[in-house]
């Protein structure tokens, strides 16, 4: 289980990854820069011009190490995957349940319950920590908290899937309408008006999109490790090339992990405006140094411990993805009565 904490991010352009015995070797211009035993890794993510030997690809597949290729700026390109792990009966059950609209609506409610509850907690903590500052509109944030609370009450009722998906869009709009208020330093350089992507059009959205990419990689690996198919979701319906189930579970972790990390990086001035470049197309890209800062901070955050209310014990943040994947698999098997989303207290 511990190996799921460790993801090797390779950002050095021109790097070459190869297999040497039971280790992964990273070389640049034929000079070895790093050696890591494969059993310590849960995944490898390559950014940009990074090459891998065919023997390493097969080695990673045999050892359950996810190998992903992204553009230099973090857009997903491809993934090398070995034989699917887990019981085929579990995946068949997942497919049957995903075809059931009523069950899918119930699952979507659970994922959104986690997302909205955690979004509300992010706002509540911001009010507690910075509510007395002049630049923070406490009244606006308070109203947003109230509206998110009303959506949590609404999710207690049975609604069809389209209605639930509508709730998700409304709640996200409410949350992001006050997100700029949570940025308490470098406000001139990190202005957030609305969520945009493909491409991100400002520094904050660029940062959020990059962290979301890292998050979905780790959640996808965790789902595969317990034998679930990350492509077949409930809130996010089937679409070629989209990891629907990974995106479903990511909803619980967006506010708690990704959004809070982005805010910390900005408010603590660990990232600065000079680390972002605006292209002629309007897209905003981060430079190599900023990308490395984000990757290091993300890995450090995953090492922190947190209390999981359902299993009633402390786990590292990086293990939360695996715990939720395992709980979902147990629910599909009928071992527990429902899927408990991760709710941050």
- Alpha-carbon distance of 7 to 310, in angstroms, equals 26
Expressed in angstroms, the distance from the first to the final Cα of the chain is: 24
Residue 265's SS3 state is helix
Number of domains in the chain: 2
Q: Given this model, what pLDDT does residue 104 score?
A: 93
For the stretch 211-228, pLDDT in tens is: 998 898 889 888 887 888
- Residues 316/305, Cβ–Cβ less than 8 Å: yes
Task: Kindly state whether residues 197 and 311 are assigned to the same domain.
Answer: yes
* Residues 273 and 185 reside in one and the same domain: yes
Domain-terminating residue out of 80, 99, 129: 80
User: How many residues in the chain?
Assistant: 345
Question: Structure tokens of 80?
Answer: 């090398």
Bridge partners of residue 60, in order along the sequence: none
- The residue out of 50, 80, 110 marking a domain boundary is 80
Is the pLDDT reported for residue 176 higher than 50? Answer: yes
How confident is residue 2, by pLDDT bands cut at 50, 70 and 90?
Answer: very low
Model confidence at 5, in pLDDT bands (50, 70, 90)?
A: low
For 329, the domain range is 89-333
Shared domain check, 315 and 222: yes
pLDDT for the residue numbered 128: 83
User: Does any domain span residue 338?
Assistant: no
pLDDT tens digits for 98-137? 999 999 999 999 999 999 999 999 999 888 876 566 667 7
Q: Which domain CATH number covers 42?
A: 3.100.10.20
What is the token pair recorded at 76? 């997903």
At residue 314, does pLDDT exceed 60? Answer: yes
pLDDT of 4 reads 47
129 & 216 share domain: yes
Residues 210 and 292 in one domain: yes
Report the percentage of the chain scoring pLDDT > 70.
Answer: 94
Domain-located, residue 288? yes
Residues 279 and 192 in one domain: yes
Choice between 97 and 136, residue whose per-residue pLDDT is larger: 97
Mean residue pLDDT of the chain comes to: 86
**pLDDT confidence band for 341 (50 / 70 / 90):** very high
Domain shared by 103 and 55, yes or no: no
Same domain, 60 and 153: no
Tell me 275's DSSP state.
Answer: G
Instruction: List alpha helices for 131-160, DSSP H.
Output: 138-154
Percent of the chain with pLDDT over 90: 37
pLDDT value of position 309:
83
- For the cut 80, the answer to whether the pLDDT of residue 66 exceeds it is no
Shared-domain flag, residues 212 and 234 = yes
pLDDT tens figures, 253-298: 999 999 999 999 999 999 998 988 888 888 888 888 998 899 889 9
Residues 265, 149 share a domain? yes
Q: Which of 108, 321, 99, 318 is nearest to 223 (CA)?
A: 321
Q: Please check whether residue 283 lies inside any domain of the structure.
A: yes
161's tokens: 């899937």
Q: Give the other-Cβ count within 10 Å of 329's Cβ.
A: 23
Shared-domain flag, residues 218 and 127? yes
Domain assignment present for 345? no
Domain match, 51 and 68 both: yes
């Amino acid at each position: 289980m511990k190996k799921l904490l460790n993801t090797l991010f390779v950002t050095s352009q021109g790097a070459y990854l190869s297999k040497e015995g039971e280790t992964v070797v990273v070389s640049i211009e034929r000079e070895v820069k790093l050696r890591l035993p494969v059993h310590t890794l849960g995944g490898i993510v390559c950014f940009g011009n990074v090459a891998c030997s065919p023997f390493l690809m097969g080695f990673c597949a045999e050892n359950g190490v996810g190998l992903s290729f992204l553009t230099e700026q973090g857009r997903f390109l491809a993934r090398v995957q070995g034989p699917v792990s887990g019981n085929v009966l579990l995946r068949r059950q997942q497919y049957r349940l995903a075809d059931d609209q009523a069950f899918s609506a119930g699952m979507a409610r659970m994922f959104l319950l986690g997302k909205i509850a955690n979004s509300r907690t992010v706002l509540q903590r911001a009010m507690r920590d910075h509510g007395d500052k002049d630049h923070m509109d406490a009244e606006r944030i308070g109203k947003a908290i109230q509206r998110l609370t009303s959506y949590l009450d609404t999710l207690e009722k049975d609604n069809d899937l389209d209605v639930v998906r509508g709730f998700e869009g409304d709640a996200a709009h409410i949350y992001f309408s006050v997100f700029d208020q949570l940025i308490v330093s470098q406000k001139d350089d990190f202005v957030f008006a609305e969520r945009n992507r493909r491409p991100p059009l400002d520094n904050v959205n660029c940062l959020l999109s990059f962290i979301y990419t890292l998050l979905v990689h780790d959640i996808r690996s965790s789902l595969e490790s317990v034998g679930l198919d990350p492509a077949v979701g409930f809130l996010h319906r089937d679409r070629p090339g989209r990891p629907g189930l990974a995106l479903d579970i990511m909803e619980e972790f967006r506010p708690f992990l990704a959004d809070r990390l982005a805010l910390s990086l900005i408010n603590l001035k660990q990232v600065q405006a000079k680390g972002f470049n605006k292209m002629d197309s309007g897209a905003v890209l981060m430079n190599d140094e900023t990308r490395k800062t984000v990757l290091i901070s993300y890995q450090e955050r995953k090492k922190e411990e947190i209390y999981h209310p359902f299993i009633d014990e402390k786990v590292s943040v990086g293990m939360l993805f695996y715990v939720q994947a395992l709980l979902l698999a147990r629910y599909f098997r009928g071992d527990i009565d429902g899927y408990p989303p991760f709710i941050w207290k």
